[in-house]
Each structure stands twice: as C-alpha cells, then as structure tokens.
A and B are shown apart, each in its own frame.
Chain A
Amino acid sequence: MTLKIRKENQIKSFEITPEQSYINRRSLIKSIGILSANPFFSNAFADNNIPNQKPLDFIKNNQYSTTEPVNSFEDIITYNNYYEFGLDKTDPYRFSTKFKPFPWTITVTGEAENTGDFNYEDIILTNKLEERIYRLRCVEAWSMVIPWIGIPLVDIIKKFKPTSNAKYVAFETVYRPDEMPGQRRRNLDWPYVEGLTIEEATHPLSLLAVGLYGRELPNQNGAPLRLVVPWKYGFKSIKSIVKIHFQEKQPPTTWNLAAANEYGFYANVNPEVNHPRWSQARERRLGSGFYGAKQPTLLFNGYADEVGYLYSDLDLKKYF
C-alpha cells in the first residue's frame, strides 16, 4: 500500500521548489533574448507563471497525502491538458491569461433540497481548506504528484442536501470562448461535462480543489475550483466548475461522447485495461529526468485500499 502517514518533520512542499529559484530561471531565460526570435518555436516561456495567486490558509491532511516527491510548480503549471485553452500541453499556460476566475458563481440544480446559485465565497471560503498531496495519472500514460489545496467534495455536497434520487452528480465547465481560445474550435463538444456516482463524489478522497502549492489555482489548472479524483484518469477531474446537477441517471461525459470505445464513464486507472491505442501498464512520472524509467501503473492509481470497495461488483473491463 502506498498511502503512508507523513511525519511532521518532513520537508514542506514550498521548500522543495523555492519560488525564487524559478523566478530567477525566468530572468536567465529572458537574458538569452536573441534566441527567442526563433520562428519555429514560439512557446518560450514568458513571465506569466510567476505566482500572482493569493496565498491560502490551510492545514495539511497527512492521512490522505502521499509521501512521494512533489512535482515542481513549474511542471504543474506548464504541462496541462485543458483543451479549452488549446491542444498543446503548453497552450493552457500560454493562453489562459485572459481568463477571469473571479467573481464566480456555481449553479446547483436537480435532486437536492438546497439548490440555486451560490457565490464562490459563500460556498467555498466558509470551509477549512486542507492540503492533500495526490498522484495524478493522465490517460496519456504520464503522471505527477501535486500538492492540492481544497475541501473534501463530500462536505460541499452535504450543504446541498441531495435527495435519495441523487444517484449521480454531473459537473459542467464554464463556457467562455472570449476568454478560452480553445473553445472557439470544436475539438470537443463544449461545454466540458463530467460526472461521478454519488458514492464516488462523497468518497473522502474526492477533493474540490481551489489551490495548489499553497496558493489559489492558476487559470491553467482549473481556476477557481476543480475536481480532483485521484484514482481516476485526469480527464475526470473537471476544471472551472460552474454547474453541479444531482440526477438519477448516469450523466453524459465529454470524452465518452467524443470516443465511447476509448473513454468510459468510470475511467478508473487500471493497468490491466489498455486504451485501444496505447498501453496503460506503465506511466512516466514527470520530473524523473531524461533517463528515468517508466514505472508500473497501479490499480486505481494506488488508491485501491481506499476505493476498491466501490467497484467490488463491477466488471472493470466492461465498465472501464
């Protein structure tokens, strides 16, 4: 089992990559200005990854955190799949600067007693934030370790008082083509939608993240709030959520609509069930350097002890 209790004297995530070191690196890169006139690559990193997000007050939740080394802040904010901002991994970092995460309203509808529009401040900031260091496994066979700041999703869901008919929770990403250039093209059916069973959504590992590395979420990571479901492939962890809908039937999900034979509703990390076009048996842990070997992928991304019971009756090959 890979979940271990962290000792108190361990290095804090902020100390692993001091802010100043990557700020310094930016200015070094800038000083090599003449090279950036290269016409073939325009993705030389600009200055917009200096953290200007507000620092957050939080407690560390060691019970649910991994002790594996955390990825650098730079890796986490420059390598993203967020097609609303473009298809390349660096696009969300480059093209998300126009996005305005605040003010933010979340609309709650469906099978719940307490529905309506809720301000981010009223629904989120009234909770105690906690840091959880989770593994993130992308369906593309790479992975990272990220120090998220958030609230257990179950605590938020309780506030809405879902009825007994609420078997599923559907989520929707904001649709703002003016601020999200990727949404002006129809690579996916916008807005992005995702869903969980109510058991998954209320599982203690499910997190509603509002920050990482001790600060508010950068735009490219799903500001101002996103899901983090660490035992599922990354695409289940929907970003910039504006709608939460409780319902009895299984909701449609964007990648499943795009290619049903490749992306299932459950999308649990499973080394035994390959993507039709590539193997899921191993993954590349980013930050492990040029010659770091790929590592074996674990069932439910290593969270099998915590979430395995949710799927004891489910044929994981059929319901992938």
Chain B
Amino acid sequence: MRYSTRLVIFISLIPFIDLNLRAFGFYGGLGANPIETMIRTNGIWGLRILIATLMLAPFNRYSGLEIFRQLAKPLGLVSLFYILGHFLSYAIIDQSGDLKVVIVNIIETPYLIVGWGGFLCLLSVGAMSFKSLQPWYKKNRSTISGIVYSSAVLGTWHYYWNTKTIETEALIYCLIVCILVLWKVKVTQEKL
C-alpha cells in the first residue's frame, strides 16, 4: 500500500480514535447522551466517507490520477467499518442487544428500514473483499457498483429522514449523491 493511501486511511479513522478517547472520558467525554453520540458519530462518518468514496470515481476519470482508483476499496471498507459500528451500537447498546426488539423497531420505523437496507447493501459489497469471492466480483462489477450507489442513496435518505427539521448538512449530502448518481448513469450510458 502506498504511503499516500495509508495516510488517507489513517485520517479517515481519526473520528473513530476521537470517539474512543471520548468514551474513556477525554476532553469532554461523550456528553449527556453517550449512546446517541456513539450512534450518530459512527453513522455520520460512515455516510461522509461513503460519499467521499463515490466521489473518487469522477475524480479519477477527470484527473487521471491512479491514487483515486486505489483509494476506493480501502475507503469503502472504512465506511463499512463505521456503519457496522453505527448499527452495532444501536442494536447492542441502545436496544440492549434484544434482537426481537431490534427487528420490531426497524420494521415499525420507516427511516430505520431505509437505513437497514443501505447497511445490507454496503455489507454485501464489503463481503466481496474476501479472496474467495473475488472472481465472482470481477464478473459482476457493474451490479456491485450499483449496490454501492444504492447504499449511498439509502444512507442519505435515512439521515435526511431522521432529522426533525430540514438541515443544511443533510441537504448537501442529498445534492451530492444526486449528482453522483446522475453522473454514473451518464457514464454507464456512454459505455453502452
């Protein structure tokens, strides 16, 4: 792995390190609602890094720099890492690990269904990193990339839907994801 790649991965893990330091009481701790802080921090960074990962493709195409292509897989996995933390802190800490309660809660709550869908998409793509699945992955590249875009759409939707008022940050992510999806559609059509 190139040093630049390692550096980017390290930077992308700073929020995780920060969260852990806070969990151990450093500089202000996790605040009055530590569980919410854990769920939200993991979720928002997972989404930010996922969107950043999708932005790598146009960057690579128009700059020709290989680094953008090489970063896609490790950054995507970092995003999955955060989203896994997001889901597990919700399921294990917030809902006390009661699987029945988690499932009922997800089914009853529309924005959780959407988030769950996005999580499953990302998880299935992450599984492609296993060596045994690589040949299958190489044959189905376009499907897989479609699933990654779906997970970004669902994740942004989940975030947007969870806020009580219309928040600027959620709107910005919606806009970026829309542009990325349209770009992807355009590029795919040009290839055909």
Contact = CB atoms under 8 A, between A and B. Distances in A.
The yes or no verdict on A and B being binding partners is yes
A102 interface: no
Contacts of A277: 109-111, 161-162
A125 interface: no
B143 interface: no
Contacts of B166: 187
A32 B105 contact: no
Contacts of A286: 32-33
B14 A290 contact: no
A89 B167 contact: no
Interface stretch (A5-13, A74-82, A195-203): A74-82
A89 B33 contact: yes
A294 interface: yes
Contact of B105 (A71, A185, A279): A279
A83 B166 CA distance: 12
Interface stretch (B20-28, B76-84, B127-135): B20-28
B151 to A, nearest CB: 21
A75 to B, nearest CB: 4
Contact of B27 (A44, A87, A142, A278): A44
A29 interface: yes
Interface string A38-56: 1011011100000000000
A140 B166 CA distance: 16
B117 to A, nearest CB: 16
Interface in B19-76: 21, 26-28, 31-36
Contacts of A35: 21, 26-27
A301 interface: no
Contact of A78 (B21, B31, B34, B108): B31
B98 to A, nearest CB: 9
B124 interface: no
A45 B167 contact: no
Given A87-B167, A277-B161, A278-B109, A290 B35 contact: yes
B171 to A, nearest CB: 11
Interface string A200-234: 00000000000000000000000000000000000
Given A29-B27, A90-B31, A294-B96, 20 more contacts: A32-B26, A35-B21, A35-B26, A40-B18, A43-B28, A71-B32, A74-B32, A87-B163, A89-B32, A140-B164, A142-B36, A187-B166, A274-B108, A277-B109, A277-B110, A277-B161, A278-B109, A284-B36, A284-B94, A290-B35
14 contacts: A29-B27, A32-B27, A43-B28, A44-B27, A78-B32, A79-B33, A87-B163, A89-B31, A142-B36, A188-B165, A277-B110, A278-B109, A279-B108, A286-B32
Interface of A: 29, 32, 35-36, 38, 40-41, 43-45, 71, 74-75, 78-79, 83, 87, 89-90, 140, 142, 185, 187-188, 258, 274, 277-279, 284, 286-287, 290-291, 293-294
